[in-house]
Homo-oligomer: A and B are copies of this chain.
């Protein structure tokens, strides 16, 4: 009963090989970098501040985290909102497009669970 679905999935993946610029490559471009995917994972929980984000994803430098956040922002995956308070507060949040990456992350999660190191 899973066969039909599997066949369709397989056919789609085979088509992908013929794309000049494979759609998979497009996704890889967005999730590029050592920390990007984990940033998205954190933000799936809801909007987060810079420091909260940093605490959640592991030992990343401020420079790198900033770089990745800027890249995601420019690609329309996240928004950056500044609240001009004292001390300043900056909140990052997934856009609709960013939220839709949930399916990719979920597939990764399931694979990792099923195939422990």
Chain A positions near chain B (C-beta within 8 angstroms): 9-10, 12-14, 16-17, 21-30, 37-38, 41-42, 44-45, 56, 97, 100-117
Contact A105 B45 (CB under 8 A): no
When all copies of this chain in the complex are counted, the total is: 2
Contact A114 B100 (CB under 8 A): yes
Contact B13 A44 (CB under 8 A): yes
Contact B10 A44 (CB under 8 A): yes
Contact A115 B100 (CB under 8 A): yes
Contact A27 B104 (CB under 8 A): no
Q: Which residues of B contact A104 (CB under 8 A)?
A: 104, 107-108, 111
Specify the chain B residue showing the minimal Cβ separation from A9: B106
